[in-house]
Amino acid sequence: MIGLAFWIETTFRSAGGLAAVLLPAGPLVYLYLFKMMSFMQSRLGPMEAGPAGSMQLLAEVGKFLQKEDLFPAKADRIVFAAAPFVVLVSSFLLVVVVPFGPDAWFVNLDTGVFFAMAVSSVSVIGILMAGWASASKYSMLGGLRAAGQLIAYELPLVLAVMGVVIQAGTLNMQDIVLAQAEGEIFGFGGIGNPFIITQFLGFVIFMIAMQAELTQPPFDMPVAESELVTGYITEYSGMRFLLFFIGEFATAGIFAMIASVLFLGGWWVPGIDPDSNLFNILGPAVMFAKVLGVTFLVFWFRITYPRFREDQLQKLAWKVLIPLSLLNIVITGILKVAF
């Protein structure tokens, strides 16, 4: 960076972080939750607010802001009030290590992947807080289910990423992008080496574990609206419900960013020199396009599939995904040494 004063740089980075977390969430809600879901269910979705209902989200936010901030009578007020912020903090911490261009990053940590995997679990604490402090049985069941699920799926998530780390030889997110840009697939370097091709198994496991981390169907046991009303969010209203809602979609966007950095080449597209300054402008747009692609998969599954039961969900994590991801690591390690 050219010599900016520390406070100017910090302000820019904070504003950029806010934008990176909140800006994708809006289009995701409108495009996928409102429109794609409606078309798949043979209805139109919102049509009145703005052209083709595109301002609907603003109307919803306005509605939630006006609502009363309710506390259940027996709730632990401080914990109850703090829980949605803890969930949102996890999203903000995650975006810190995501690179958007050769120079457009917030923090260039050498242990970027490790940091991302570590802070992604912070949201569990928020969800447990919400579930316990609500003093409601549905909320508590939802919170406990969420804790069990998020911890179980953290492992395949981390292990799936290990394959990428072995292949790239680094934990630095920026270097992982560069490794994909400059790599080659068994001697063919025309499109670099996006790890989705050489780490396809890892990508599939990562997507499944990500779906579970986001508590989207078919892994939406913690919110299961036909059983637990809405699980740990049951007692929330107004602003705090909105924070949970934004947190859900912001986290979906950020996990998609991490997936695109790890498997799809991040801000880089084939054909342009990765050191080119062009990517500082083009990079965020490329990232956004890739995020839309990844989240399309997430929401497609969300709309199509029924819900797993808690024990089936745990079985899938421990008996299928973890052995598969260990196998992936072994194969990647052998191939890394061999070639």
Partner 1 sequence: MTAISDGEKLRHIGEQATDARMNIEIETEGMTLNIGPQHPATHGTLRIVAKLDGEQVVAAEPIMGYMHRGYEKLAEVRTYPQVTTLVNRIDWVGSFANETPFILAAEKLMEIEAPPRAQYIRTILHEMSRIANVMLGIGDMGVQVGAVTPVFLAFRDREYVLNQIEAATGGRFHPNFDRIGGLKDDLPAGWIQNTKNAMEKVEEFCDTIETLMYGNEIFQARTRGIGIIPKDVGLAYGLSGVNIRASGVDWDVRRDAMPQGLVYDQIDWKVWTHPDGDCYSRMWVRLQEVREGAKIVRALLGQIPAGPVMAKVPRIIKVPAGEAFVETENPLGVMGYYIVSKGDLNPFRVKIRSASFSNISITPWLLKGVYVPDIIAILGSLYFILGDIDR
Tell me which residues touch partner 1 (CB under 8 A): 37, 40-43, 137-138, 141, 217-218, 220-221, 224-229, 303-312
- Please report how close the Cβ of residue 40 comes to partner 1 at its closest, in angstroms: 6
Smaller CB separation from partner 1, 24 or 131: 131
Smaller CB separation from partner 1, 180 or 216: 216
Whole-number Å distance between alpha carbons of 339 and 335? 6
Smaller CB separation from partner 1, 35 or 290: 35
- Please report how close the Cβ of residue 75 comes to partner 1 at its closest, in angstroms: 18
Whole-number Å distance between alpha carbons of 143 and 160? 26
Other CB atoms within 10 Å distance of the CB of residue 309: 11
Query: Which residue reads 């990844």 in tokens?
Result: 294
324 sits in which H/E element: helix 322-338
- Please report how close the Cβ of residue 91 comes to partner 1 at its closest, in angstroms: 25
Give the 3-state secondary structure of residue 167: helix
- Please report how close the Cβ of residue 289 comes to partner 1 at its closest, in angstroms: 27
- Please report how close the Cβ of residue 312 comes to partner 1 at its closest, in angstroms: 6
Q: Which long-range contacts (CB under 8 A, 24 or more apart) does 227-230 make?
A: 228/138, 228/139, 228/141, 228/142, 228/145, 229/138, 230/138, 230/142
- Please report how close the Cβ of residue 138 comes to partner 1 at its closest, in angstroms: 8
- Please report how close the Cβ of residue 298 comes to partner 1 at its closest, in angstroms: 15
Q: Which sign, positive or negative, has the C-alpha torsion 290, 291, 297, 299?
A: negative
- Please report how close the Cβ of residue 277 comes to partner 1 at its closest, in angstroms: 46
Smaller CB separation from partner 1, 20 or 141: 141
Whole-number Å distance between alpha carbons of 108 and 114? 13
Smaller CB separation from partner 1, 3 or 306: 306
Smaller CB separation from partner 1, 138 or 268: 138
> Which positions ≥6 away from 211 have C-beta within 8 Å?
218, 219, 298, 301, 302
- For 232-264, the DSSP string reads GGTT--HHHHHHHHHHHHHHHHHHHHHHHHHHS
Where in the chain does DSSP place strands (E)? none
Give the Å distances, CA to CA, from 165 to 75, 180, 292, 327: 44, 11, 24, 15
CB-neighbour burial class of residue 15 (10 A; exposed 0-12, middle 13-18, buried 19+): exposed
Smaller CB separation from partner 1, 195 or 245: 245
Smaller CB separation from partner 1, 44 or 272: 44
